[in-house]
Chains A and B, each alone.
Chain A
Amino acid sequence: AQSVTQLDSQVPVFEEAPVELRCNYSSSVSVYLFWYVQYPNQGLQLLLKYLSGSTLVKGINGFEAEFNKSQTSFHLRKPSVHISDTAEYFCAVTQIQGAQKLVFGQGTRLTINP
């Protein structure tokens, strides 16, 4: 079984400041890793994913994440945030073999202050 822990439930930052949203996971098998974003009153959409290869993956809207196998982490970063980045962010994992069921973290609410 897999589990995901997002270490911060809320992260307030000022516009144009950098941000890091932290995600740790636990799994007895190899997994793929994802970050999804949910804007207010909408469904989720994919920001980025790690399948294999380079541990630094780039996504949409200037976000990137780094996979660290030894620390079982997949932290999301953006060097300079914008008001439009205000949303809830979810880290998720799925096992590589078998049914592609996503296991989500609890979510981190990112609030950008002007």
Chain B
Amino acid sequence: NAGVTQTPKFQVLKTGQSMTLQCAQDMNHNSMYWYRQDPGMGLRLIYYSASEGTTDKGEVPNGYNVSRLNKREFSLRLESAAPSQTSVYFCASSEARVAGNEQYFGPGTRLTVT
């Protein structure tokens, strides 16, 4: 099992450009999440999908959109990138129908917006 995979690993964008971060999991989990990690701020939830066909905003959703393409895949889109979106982005998944289950994290995407 690969677990949670993310592409790309690194990306540099210019202000105003768009891009989609891809995430896939092979653990048959129902729930998937997108976080951003910034120095001194821990991880903050951008969007999550409790189950296939549903998505909800997290703590910092502005400037992002998501798509739960199927049970395996959950993508994060930046329509018009801004320097404030320079961050490391992590995707995670969990079997959240069992309360307290751990979330499994991907390796991250390091995004720089110039």
- Identify the A interface with B (CB < 8 A): 4, 6, 9, 32, 34, 36, 42-46, 49, 51, 90, 94, 96-97, 99-107
Contacts and interface: CB of A to CB of B under 8 A. Distances in A.
A99 B56 contact: yes
10 contacts: A6-B42, A9-B40, A49-B102, A96-B99, A100-B31, A100-B96, A101-B45, A101-B58, A103-B59, A106-B42
A43 B4 contact: yes
Contact of A90 (B31, B42, B100, B108): B42
A105 B99 CA distance: 20
Interface size class of B (residues with CB under 8 A): 20 to 34
A101 B58 CA distance: 8
A106 to B, nearest CB: 5
Given A32-B99, A102-B103, A43 B108 contact: yes
Interface of B: 4, 31, 33, 35, 40-45, 48, 50, 56, 58-59, 90, 92, 94, 96, 99-103, 105-108
B105 A45 contact: yes
B100 A44 contact: no
Contact of A102 (B4, B40, B45, B99): B45
Contact of B106 (A36, A43, A94, A102): A43
Contacts of B45: 101-103
A46 B108 CA distance: 16
A100 B105 contact: no
A76 to B, nearest CB: 15
List of 6 A-B pairs having minimum Cβ-Cβ separation, nearest first: A43-B105, A104-B42, A100-B96, A46-B102, A51-B100, A44-B105
